[in-house]
Amino acid sequence: MPLTSKRTEGFEESVIRRMTRIAMEYGAINLSQGFPDFDPPGELSAALARTAAAGPHQYAVTWGAPNFRAALAEKQSRFMGIPVDPDRNITVTCGSTEAMMAAMMSVVNPGDKVIVFSPFYENYGADAILSGAEPLYVPLVPPKPGSAAGGSFSFDGDRLRSAFEKRPRALILCNPSNPSGKVFTREELLYIAELAGEFDAWVITDEVYEHIVYEPAEHVYFASLPGMAERTISCSSLSKTYSITGWRLGYTIAGEKATGVIRKVHDFLTVGAAAPLMEAALTALAFPPSYYRELRASYTAKRDVFLGALDRAALPYTKPQGAYYVLADIGEFDGGGDTRFCEWLAREVKVAAVPGSSFFREPVHHLIRFHFAKKEETLLAAGERLAELRSVWEKRGYSR
């Protein structure tokens, strides 16, 4: 049999998607893969129904339908605080996953180095390998464990500078961060910007949770920092903001030269995003500012409900500042590591989480990731099951 590509030997299948399959197998509440169990806004669903009948049903312009790019440019210019030109700066992609891959392949050469903060969304390691790049991992240090500890993940400035001194081609920045829930401060971002300028590096941002940020944290778009618009490729999508993860509408925003290269890569990766979905999504891009305030309030309430459930289950955690994930500490359950624990949790407690080790470069096996993009009744039901975790463990734990 012919050999397969060696580059695919450097990473495994998605642990997140695997945990979803395990959740389905055992009938567990799926708090692993980050998609909602509630519908998108009614106006958006109605727009999709109209478009299903009226179209368009054929290819749009490869890098995005003109009316969609125009609406997206208006919305992002308003939130980012910088001018975004629909014809010079935007490429519409099949989700932010493709946006990140297209960005990497557009600016990174085989053998280049790329800085990645750890913990990281699992795709970034695979993106680097598929691009032929070498990841340089810089740890984000968690605050002291415990729900009352407060604080945020942080990085060591000297360690980050040391990584830049190895002359990376780019740094990948997930902000707000999956899985840690960290929202980078303006001061942290300015330090990263200073290093990116000094060492002439790109910054590729993943900002899909840009509108899911909890007070008092505030999201700062990296491209809005002084001098950073031309060395930043901003990647995002409509998935999380409008609860349409299955629509797969993502995009990059970059300077004109970088955009031209991204469009070439995008064309040969996927040709283009779905034309009828772009048409329907115009409705969402026209939502008033109140929508985003209500989104923030809604997710703040969901976060508080689920963190209350973790408190009742006596599971320590780091309180997220943004996104809709929380890392919980299972260090007291000595049962063969986080992967085996998550499989046990789905099977016996009927709640599915993701082993934290899939997000860390460091040997971290005491954390698991839950997501709380669910209806309140789903979160309460998961909380009731987690409250029984210790009693189930005592009866059916595989070791203690």
Give residue-wise pLDDT tens across range 70-102: 999 999 999 999 999 999 999 999 999 999 999
Mean pLDDT on 29-58: 96
- In this prediction, residue 95 carries a pLDDT of 97
CATH number for domain 6-40+290-393, candidates 3.20.20.70, 3.20.20.220, 3.90.1150.10, 3.40.50.620: 3.90.1150.10
What strands, in cross-sheet order, belong to the sheet with 367-371?
A: 325-329, 367-371, 354-355
* Of 62, 58, 57, nearest in space to 87 by CA: 62
Return the percentage of the chain with pLDDT > 70, whole number.
96
**pLDDT exceeds cutoff 90 at 398:** no
Q: Is the pTM of this model over 0.85?
A: yes
- In this prediction, residue 140 carries a pLDDT of 95
**pLDDT exceeds cutoff 50 at 400:** no
> Under a CB-based contact definition with an 8 Å cutoff, are residues 339 and 18 in contact?
no
**pLDDT exceeds cutoff 70 at 151:** no
Ordered by start, the domain boundaries in the chain are 6-40+290-393, 56-287
> Under a CB-based contact definition with an 8 Å cutoff, are residues 242 and 214 in contact?
no
For 318-370, what is each residue's pLDDT tens digit?
999 999 999 999 988 866 789 999 999 999 999 999 999 999 998 888 999 99
Task: Determine which of 1-5, 180-184, 253-257, 354-358 has the lowest per-residue pLDDT on average.
Answer: 1-5
Structure tokens at 352: 């599915």
* Of 118, 79, 120, nearest in space to 292 by CA: 79
Dihedral sign from CA coordinates of 39, 42, 48, 52: positive
Q: Which CATH class for the 56-287 domain?
A: alpha beta
* pLDDT band at residue 149 using 50, 70 and 90 as cut-offs: very low
Structure tokens at 91: 């490429």
- In this prediction, residue 148 carries a pLDDT of 43
Per-residue three-class SS string for the chain? CCCCCHHHHHCCCCHHHHHHHHHHHHCCEECCCCCCCCCCCHHHHHHHHHHHHHCCCCCCCCCCCHHHHHHHHHHHHHHHCCCCCCCCCEEEEEHHHHHHHHHHHHHCCCCCEEEEEECCCCHHHHHHHHCCCEEEEEECECCCCCCCCCCCCECCHHHHHHHHCCCCCEEEEECCCCCCCCCCCHHHHHHHHHHHHHCCCEEEEECCCCCCECCCCCCCCHHHCCCCHHHEEEEEECCCCCCCHHHCEEEEECCHHHHHHHHHHHHHHHCCCCHHHHHHHHHHHCCCHHHHHHHHHHHHHHHHHHHHHHHHCCCCECCCCECCEEEEECCCCCCCCHHHHHHHHHHHHCEECEEHHHCCCCCCCCEEEEECCCCHHHHHHHHHHHHCHHHHHHHHCCCC
* pLDDT band at residue 167 using 50, 70 and 90 as cut-offs: very high
Return the percentage of the chain with pLDDT > 90, whole number.
83
- In this prediction, residue 111 carries a pLDDT of 95
